[in-house]
């Protein structure tokens, strides 16, 4: 849980008392590679913190998986609308690699909102997630798959080593063969 405390302290100052109250609400869980944490149509019952590992959010459209985004450790995650409104999820969450997560339920998460530090943490985290979501949507609408891939090389090169080609291609909205061509083109340009 040390990683979780450090993560929260990136946003707020925690007293020992507050930390003890927060940590008592979370339970550790080991998630196997390719395990589905949430299936479309189910209600998301947990707020999570990923301590190690990598996750993928995806939807299934006409039998094809479309990757929306990835969550790399350390970070908090959930299916926000499903979790908060207790509605069936419109997305799936899958572990790309074996992951260690900590989870709490809606009641405990809401009870923690009485703590000023937790309330501030959640507010700042939601704002950050909204910013990232807007950034992804803008990139999808304005950038080519090649430019989005180049940006990922610059900002998150370690992710490219961990994510299978088919998931990356789906995230960029192209076929795996097209992504292979883009990768070869970039490697070739870098050698020149």
Instruction: Report the percentage of the chain scoring pLDDT > 90.
Output: 84
Which residue, 120, 142, 164, sits at the end of a domain? 142
Q: Which residue has the higher pLDDT, 188 or 146?
A: 146
Inform me whether the pLDDT recorded for 191 exceeds 90: no
Mean pLDDT across the chain: 94
| Distance (Å) of CA 103 to CA 47, 136, 174, 186 | 6, 26, 34, 40
Q: Which of 105, 124, 142 is the last residue of a domain?
A: 142
Of 149, 141, 139, 143, which is closest to residue 176 (Cα–Cα)? 149
Each residue's pLDDT tens digit, 51-92: 999 999 999 988 889 999 999 999 999 999 999 999 999 999
The answer on 35 and 6 residing in a single domain is yes
Residues 125 and 154 reside in one and the same domain: no
Domain count across the chain:
2
Q: In this structure, what CATH number is given to the domain that contains residue 82?
A: 2.60.120.10
Is the domain of 127 the same as that of 87?
A: yes
Mean pLDDT on 122-138: 92
- Same domain assignment for residues 55 and 112: yes
pLDDT value of position 107: 96
Distance CA 154, CA 72 (A): 16
In a shared domain, residues 138 and 179:
no
Do 107 and 174 sit in the same domain of this protein?
Answer: no
Of the candidates 105, 121, 142, which is a domain's last residue?
142
Dist CA 184 CA 188 (whole Å) = 6
| Whether residue 109 is found in the same domain as residue 123 | yes
Terminal alpha carbon distance of the chain = 46
Query: Are residues 156 and 113 part of one domain?
Result: no
Is residue 126 predicted with pLDDT exceeding 90? yes
Which domain, by its residues, includes 131? 2-142
Return d(Cα 97, Cα 55) in angstroms, integer.
Answer: 7
Considering the domain architecture, whether residues 108 and 25 belong to the same structural domain is answered as yes
pTM here? 0.90
Q: Are residues 151 and 116 in the same domain?
A: no
Task: Specify whether 186 is located in the same domain as 148.
Answer: yes
Mark whether 114 and 183 lie in a shared domain.
no
């Amino acid at each position: 849980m040390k990683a979780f405390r450090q993560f929260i302290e990136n946003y707020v100052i925690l007293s020992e008392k507050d930390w003890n109250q927060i940590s008592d609400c979370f339970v550790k869980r080991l998630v196997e590679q390719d395990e589905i944490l949430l299936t479309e149509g189910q209600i998301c019952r947990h707020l999570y913190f990923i301590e190690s590992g990598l996750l993928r959010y995806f939807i299934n459209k006409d039998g094809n998986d479309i990757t929306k985004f990835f969550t790399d450790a350390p970070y908090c995650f959930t299916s926000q609308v499903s979790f908060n409104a207790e509605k069936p999820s419109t997305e799936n969450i899958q572990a790309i690699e074996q992951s260690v997560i900590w989870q709490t339920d809606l009641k405990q998460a809401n009870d923690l909102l009485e703590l000023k530090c937790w309330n501030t943490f959640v507010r700042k985290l939601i704002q950050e997630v909204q910013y990232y979501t807007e950034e992804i949507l803008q990139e999808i609408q304005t950038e080519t798959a090649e430019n989005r891939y180049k940006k990922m090389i610059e900002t998150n090169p370690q992710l490219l080593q961990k994510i299978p080609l088919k998931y990356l291609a789906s995230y960029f909205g192209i076929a795996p063969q097209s992504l292979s061509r883009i990768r070869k083109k970039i490697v070739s340009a870098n050698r020149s």
